[in-house]
Amino acid sequence: MKKNIFQYSILIGIMLILSSMRILNVKNEDPKLSLDDKSLVKIIKTESEWKKLLSPNQFYILRKKGTEAPFQNAYYNNHEKGNYFCAGCHLPLFSSKTKFESGTGWPSFYAPLDKKNVSESVDNSHGMVRGEITCTRCGGHLGHVFNDGPNPTGLRYCMNSAALIFQKNK
Ligand SMILES: [Zn+2]
């Protein structure tokens, strides 16, 4: 009998170790970010599905067209070389090569990695006429585009950091 209890406790111990390893793995797992992820097949999810996938801030920006505070976001002052992916569906959107110092307090780019990956529509909210930029694949709100950007495009893609995930070049 004693031997059985001993065997059981070892078994339970091993199971506990394995399950905690699994939890750690999931938490540390980086989202799969790849420049080769080019599919533009639409990703459609319900509001509650998005809520489970995104942080409250990501949900507010991407799914509720929110805007984060300037100068208090992850990437406005990020000068690392790498790429920016959609925080909702991980579609590659922008490169550090087209990022510039706009002084606005939001990450700003003069062009997307691929024009097809972002969609533009007219946004008349807040008494302004602006070009709203969404992710072509998941429809997530990313920010706005303005005509006061630098050469060579003259465009300023003013993005929310929370709508993006940055991956540093390896
Ligand atoms: Zn997306």
| 43 CA distance to ligand 1 middle (Å) | 8
Instruction: Kindly tell me if the per-residue pLDDT of 20 is higher than 80.
Output: no
Considering the domain architecture, whether residues 155 and 99 belong to the same structural domain is answered as: yes
How many A from CA of 148 to the centre of ligand 1? 25
Domain count, the chain: 2
C-alpha 17 – ligand 1 centre gap (Å): 36
CATH number at residue 69: 2.170.150.20
For residues 80 and 14, state if they share a domain: no
Q: Are residues 10 and 45 in the same domain?
A: no
Q: Are residues 14 and 53 in the same domain?
A: no
Do 26 and 100 fall into the same domain?
Answer: no
H helices of the chain, where?
A: 2-28, 47-53, 56-64
Q: Which of 86, 135, 138, 158 is flagged as catalytic?
A: 158
Ligand 1 mean position to 6 CA, how many Å?
51
C-alpha 56 to ligand 1 mean position (Å): 16
Claim to verify: residue 23 and residue 45 sit in the same structural domain: no
* pLDDT of res. 27: 42
Active site annotation includes 158: yes
pLDDT tens for each residue of 63-102: 999 999 999 999 999 999 999 999 999 999 999 999 999 9
Give the model's pLDDT for residue 13.
64
In a shared domain, residues 16 and 47: no
Nearest to 63 by CA among 30, 94, 28, 88: 88
Is residue 23 domain-shared with residue 87, that is, in the same domain? no
Residues 13 and 40 in one domain: no
Residues 98-127 as b/e (b if ≥16 CB within 10 A, e otherwise) read bbeebeebbbbbbbbbeeebbeeeebeeee
| Distance from residue 139's CA to the centre of ligand 1 (Å) | 6
CA 33 to ligand 1 center in whole angstroms: 12
Which tens digit of pLDDT belongs to each residue from 32-64? 899 999 999 999 999 999 999 999 999 999 999
Are 6 and 49 members of one domain?
A: no
The answer on 115 and 81 residing in a single domain is yes
Examine the domain organization and report whether 36 and 7 are in the same domain.
no
Give the global pTM.
0.81
| Domain around 120 | 32-168
The upper half-sphere exposure of residue 126, i.e. CA atoms within 13 Å in the direction of its Cβ, equals 9
